[in-house]
Amino acid sequence: AQSVTQLDSHVSVSEGTPVLLRCNYSSSYSPSLFWYVQHPNKGLQLLLKYTSAATLVKGINGFEAEFKKSETSFHLTKPSAHMSDAAEYFCVVSDRVSDKLIFGTGTRLQVFP
């Protein structure tokens, strides 16, 4: 069975400093992986996705993620945090057998001025 683990429930950074949100996955197959962002009182929005093309994936708002098969990781990064990045972030793996999307438990990002 496929699963995804987000290693931090909360991350706090200062504005202008780098962001790292960590995600490890477990998969018997070559997975599809996604990062979604949820701003307060809003629905989730796709940030980026990996589907076995380039291992470094660029998304919206300056975020990117690198697929590392040897480490079973798909960490989300951004060089310089902005106040508007404060939100909850979900790592998601697609189960290619059942076609279900399996969500991580989320990481809440706080950005301090």
| Amino acid present at 30 | S
Q: Is 45 among the residues that bind other proteins (CB under 8 A)?
A: yes
Which residue from 15, 22, 24, 32 is in contact with other proteins, where contact means CB under 8 A? 32
Q: Which residues of 33-58 are buried (b: 16+ CB within 10 A; e: fewer)?
A: bbbbbeeeeeebeebbbbeeeeeebe
Q: Is 2 among the residues that bind other proteins (CB under 8 A)?
A: no
Closest to other proteins by CB, 24 or 32: 32
Q: Is 60 among the residues that bind other proteins (CB under 8 A)?
A: no
Q: How far apart are CA 105 and CA 83, in angstroms?
A: 22
Three-point CA angle 47, 53, 56, nearest 5°: 55
Stretch that binds other proteins, among 20-28, 45-53, 58-66, 77-85 (CB under 8 A): 45-53
3-state secondary structure of 83: helix
- Classify burial at 9, counting beta carbons within 10 Å of its beta carbon; exposed 0-12, middle 13-18, buried 19 or more: exposed
Which residue from 41, 53, 70, 113 is in contact with other proteins, where contact means CB under 8 A? 41
Closest to other proteins by CB, 70 or 92: 92
Binding residues vs other proteins (CB under 8 A): 9, 32, 34, 36, 41-46, 49, 51, 90, 94, 99-101, 103-106
